[in-house]
Structure 1
Amino acid sequence: MSLFRLDSSIQGERSTTRAVADTAEKAWLRTHPSGLITRRDLVASPLPPHAWTSAVSAGFVPADQRTDEQAESVALRTALFDELLAAEAYLLAVPLYNYGVSQHVKNWIDLLLTDPRMGTGQPPLAGRPAALITARGGGYGPGTPREGWDHATPYYRRIFGDLFGMELHVSEIELTMAESNPAMAELRGQARQQLEAGHVSAEKHGELLAQHVLDQQS
C-alpha cells in the first residue's frame, strides 16, 4: 500500500497544512501501518524554475537534438509523473499564498502537465483517492470582504479533480493568521474552531483514502 504526500508550505514546523496533513497521514497509517509513504516537499527541495519551459521546448525538437537542460527537464518530468503513478492514494498539503497558487506547486503541476501520458485519453490517475489540505490566513467565506479572492482552491479542484480525475476530498481551514495578527484578535475563537474542524475533516479523509485502497484490493 502506498501513499504520495506533497508539502508546499514555507512555514516549516509552524505550518497549518503540514500539521493537518499529519492528522490525515496518521489516519491512513492506522489502516496501513506498514504502508509506503513517498514524500515530496516542494519547499525543502524546490524544482528548477526553468524546468517547465525547458520541458515544453524539448517537445519541439527530436530527442537526440535536445540541449542538456531540455534533456534534464524531460527526465525530471518523467520521474515526477512516475512518482505519482506508483502511489495508490494522495495527500496534498497546499496553502493559499497572495490569493493564489503557491509558485512551488504551480511549477510542479505545470511540469507534470507536459508529460505525454496526460494526453492519452482517460487520465492515468483517474479514480484514485486524494485528500487536499488547504489553509488560508484570512476569511474568504460568503459575506466576508474577501469573498471570491481565493483563486487557489478552485484551481486545485479543477486540476486534481477534473483534469487528473482523482476522487478528491477537501479539508479547508481559514483564519490561520488570527493568533499572530493583533487586528484579528476577535476572530481567534473562530480560528480555533476552524483548525479543530480541519483536523476532524482530515482524519476522516485519511480514513477514506485507506478504505478506498482496501476496496480496490479486494
Structure 2
Amino acid sequence: MIIRPATKIDIPFIVDAIINIERTGNTDTFSNLFGTDEVTTRYYLEQFLLDDESLNTEFSLNTYSIVEIDGENAGCCCLFYTDSEYYQNKSELFPIHLKKEHLQKFVENAKALPDTKQYSTHKYFLEYLYVDDKFRGKGVSKVILEYLFAKTDVLYLIPLVNNTFAIDYYRRFGFVEDENIKTFPIDTLENKIYPGTHKIMLYKRNEKVN
C-alpha cells in the first residue's frame, strides 16, 4: 500500500469518489446546485480538476492524495486550508467553467444557502475521504488519516448530522465535537440541496511527539 499526490490520470477516480459521497437517492448535491444531470455534473467536476490554475480547494487536483494497493487506486482524500485565497479561488472557479444557464442556477441556489464562513474559516479540512468497495476493510482510511495528520496540527471535518456512520467512524478514530460550534445549517427546508440540513464540526489534534 502506498500513498501519493494525485495526478491528472486519477481524475476519473476522484470524480467517482465525489459523486458517490454527494449522492442521495437518484441525484447528488452538485447536480442539485448546478441544475444538471449526473453526466453534466461529472464533466464539470473533471474540468475543475483539470484546471491548472485552480489551487487549494476541494475542486483542485493539488489537494488530493491517492492510496494505491497493488497498482490500483484504492482510496483518496482531499486536504485544504480555508484562508482568503481558498475563498477567492473557489469563487472564480464556477464562472469560468459553468455554462450560463448552470451558473445562473448555481448563483440562485448559493444565495439561498446559509453562510458558513463563520464556522469554517482558517482551518485545515479533510474532505472526500473515499475507499473503493473492492478495498474496504483493508485499513485504507486509517492510512489516509495518519498521512494527513502529519501535515497539520489540527484536522477538521464537517459531516452531515444524519450521516451517523461517518460520524461514528471518525469518533472511533479520535475526532471529537467542537463544543463551541455544535451543529450549523448548510441547507434550508425551502431550498433543499443537500441530503440533510445541518452539519457537525469534528476535529482532532495531532498527537505526534515533538
Whether TM-score is above 0.5 comes out as no
Structure having the higher helix fraction is: 1
Larger radius of gyration: 1
User: TM-score scaled to structure 1, two decimals?
Assistant: 0.28
TM-score in terms of structure 2 length: 0.29
Q: Which has the higher contact order (CA 8 A, sep 6+)?
A: 1
Higher strand share goes to which structure? 2
